[in-house]
A and B are shown apart, each in its own frame.
Chain A
Amino acid sequence: MGASQTRSGKYQDLADKTGFSLEQIQNLYKRFQQLSGNEETISKENLDSIPALANNPIRKQIVDAFFDKRNQHQGEVGSFEEIGFEQFLMVMSHFRPPTLKTTEEEKEALRKEKLRFLFNMHDTDNDGTITLEEYRKVVEELLSKSGAIGQEAAKAIADAAMLEVASTNVPHMAPDDFYEGITFEHFEQILKGLEMESRMNIRFLDVDTTTMRCGKTTS
């Protein structure tokens, strides 16, 4: 009994920090235990072994995002070797949808956070800009190396996208100017119209406590 009380105290801290409800945190903790094999921390191998994730073309970027220190919002850079439950929750909180009680400023802030998350996913060397090389890498991961679109076409697509961003954000660029890369402001500008609130949200369920009675369960 004592153990569960201190645990709920710690959960309250996490709830305040990340915005999840207590039930959601308990659920996510159960999932964390499953993924880590009942250890205290998760390593990249634990996440890599999820079969459904293996389907995803950008799985490497997604897994790296969990271990990226920038997503913890504490001003640090670099990456972790292993993460604990608190870090896991912090990354998950990027995907929380706004509730009815969220004010406009909070919604703006949430949106900015989500965009920042995606920006960090592209900007792997953390210099504040997504260079052509970095962008090309992401596009290559998304597209198949064989089949409908070859590697050359993937490069061309990345180049075209960069050019587009450049022309939208720096319209009066001289022919000899070199476009450094997409900064965060440019990134925001490009994706301004995108209705992200529903696209980058995952609805975390609260739980219904159903009681199952011993002896009367259907087996």
Chain B
Amino acid sequence: MTWFTFPADNLLCWWISISITVWFTLLFAFIIVPAILGVSLGIRRLYMRTLLKIFEWATSRMEMGAKEKNQQLYKPYSSGIIAKEPPSSLQQGIQQLRGSASCLRSEPEFEMADIFYFCRRGVESIVDDEVTKCFSAQELESWNLLTRSDYNFRHISLRLTVLWGLGLLIRYGVLLPLRVTLAVTGISLLLVLTTLVGFLPNRELRFFLSEKVHLLCYRICVRALTAIITYHHRENKPKNGGICVANHTTPIDVIILANDGCYSMVGQVHGGLMGMIQRAMVKSSPHIWFERSEVKDRHLVAKRLGDHVADKTKQPILIFPEGTCINNTSVMMFKKGSFEIGCTVYPVAIKYDPRFGDAFWNSSKFGMVNYLLRMMSSWAIVCSVWYLPPMNREEGEDAVQFANRVKAAIAAQGGLVDLIWDGGLKRAKVKDAFKEEQQKLYSKVLVGEHEQADDKHLEDENPEEDKSHRDSANGQ
């Protein structure tokens, strides 16, 4: 029996070893060497075009199939659930309300009907508000063979289902192992090479080499995700002694930006693998890692950032002022800390193309590892990066206004919605101070009609309307 199985075993071993060798050679030749040299062979763009063609074909098949069966194919795209009235101030709203009721008293005071206004506003916010929409993944209207929008996946034809199954097989069977291998290679190279470079005595040489090493490893990581990035306006790339701010969708943003230039990262010290990577990176170039306790001390943070930018030989700092991941449809409030330092700010807008994979990290839904696996089993990550012209704080502008100006520029460039809400609302509740504000406003509406002398600072919005209201009230 043994002699019968032996050649089969031999054949199997031989076959496996040959395929592994071929696999690694291809990997090396097509991916690692170009990464080292910083050259792109154009394979990923070809891949992207092929994928697009397949998606178009699949979509047209689905449309034909749906037409035959007379069904609605596309998920209804709605820009809102309710028709909102044009935004009016609390005062106008209440006056409109009262104007329609027969006033029981000659002087308008508190009316029982006032509560209608707040009731309606409240229910409107329950039905449709700006913030909750930002923290769930964007809905896709077309079908990208990942069936993320599962409304659209139906059994239209055998061919499409087979295609979907094939897609699944390719993504999990071929692409995922390939990418995991690359990622592991990239990270281990980063660890090893940065540690080695850290040992060099000569400062100039160390800087030079560390730049090369970082770029190399980030390039490998980019290929590990099959990220196809288009950089626009590279002449505005951040320079030394400045701060680079960008909108935040996912931790991968860091890799995408660092692929094109060297930045100093800012962040909390982690444990485990992340901690190891952080310690290795710091050996060769100056990054700013905070202990957890220090993060709370804002002055310390500001001082360290200030010291870093003052040194013109150090790389620009990369900061995400939103503080949390948003789903890439809008930009939320920028925290003012980084804008108080008083140096040049280089805004960068990042926009992901949702057809190829959803890059948003919903940290309440997926952990980090789960998220990375999802990323590595999508088709590709296609994104555009725009480098915007540098901005400085102007005379008489405080940090908050400056932050809002930068935010508006980023939102405009990336085609995102500019929101005033704080990204921290993902986890925290709105402070009661907001409710107090509304209560105060309403109180002023009641009181302001009596005390005319105090009106000047109470009602700053519609002095004419007030007067006419008072006249009509007196006329009654």
Where the two chains meet, the residues of A that have a C-beta atom closer than 8 Å to any C-beta of B are: 1, 4, 23-24, 26-28, 30-31, 34-35, 47-59, 61-62, 66, 92, 95, 118, 121, 138-139, 141-149, 157, 160-161, 164-165, 168, 190-191, 193-196, 198-205, 207-215, 217, 219
Q: Does B1 contact A (CB under 8 A)?
A: no
- Other than the known A149-B443, A194-B113, what 17 A-B pairs have Cβ atoms closer than 8 Å? A50-B131, A51-B129, A51-B421, A54-B434, A62-B118, A62-B122, A62-B126, A121-B115, A142-B115, A148-B458, A149-B447, A168-B104, A191-B101, A191-B113, A194-B100, A210-B77, A217-B142
Q: Does B273 contact A (CB under 8 A)?
A: no
Per-residue CB contact flags for chain B residues 114-147 toward chain A (1 = under 8 Å, else 0) read 1111111111111111111100100001111000
B25 within 8 A of A: no
> Are B133 and A62 interface neighbours, CB within 8 A?
no
Which are the 3 A-B pairs with shortest beta-carbon distances?
A54-B430, A214-B142, A52-B125
Structural contact, A34 and B55, CB atoms closer than 8 A: no
Contact B104 A164, beta carbon cutoff 8 Å:
yes
Kindly list chain A residues whose C-beta atoms are within 8 Å of the C-beta of B456: none
Q: Using A54-B430, A199-B116 as known contacts, say yes or no to A214 and B78 having CB atoms under 8 A apart.
A: no
In the complex, the chain B residue whose C-beta lies closest to that of A142 is B442
The answer to whether the Cβ of B236 comes within 8 Å of any Cβ in the partner chain is no
Instruction: Known contacts A54-B430, A214-B55, A215-B56; decide if A95 and B123 are in contact (CB<8 Å).
Output: yes
Contact of B125 among A50, A157, A193 (CB under 8 A): A50
From B5-13, B35-43, B80-88, B174-182, give the one contacting chain A.
B80-88
A56–B97 CA distance with the chains assembled, in angstroms: 17
CB neighbours of A143 from chain B (8 A): 439, 442-443, 446
Complex interface: chain A residues within 8 A of B458 (CB)? 148
Contact A203 B430 (CB under 8 A): no
1/0 per residue B441-470: CB within 8 Å of A? 011101110000000001000000000000
Q: Please give me the residue from chain A that is nearest to B136 by CB atom.
A: A34
Identity of the chain A residue whose Cβ is nearest the Cβ of B59 in the assembled complex: A214
Chain A residue with the shortest CB-CB distance to B442: A142
Rounded to whole angstroms, the CA-CA distance of A162 and B353 in the bound complex is: 60
The answer to whether A51 and B425 have CB atoms under 8 Å apart is yes
List B155-169 residues whose CB lies under 8 Å from chain A: 155
B435 within 8 A of A: yes
B126 touches A202 (CB 8 A): no
Question: Do the beta carbons of B101 and A50 come within 8 Å of each other?
Answer: no
- Whether the pair A207, B77 counts as a contact (CB closer than 8 A) is yes
Alpha-carbon gap, A4 to B75, bound state (A): 12
| A26 neighbours in B (Cβ, 8 Å) | 76
Instruction: Verify if B308 is at the interface (C-beta below 8 Å from A).
Output: no
Complex: how many Å from CA A199 to CA B131? 25
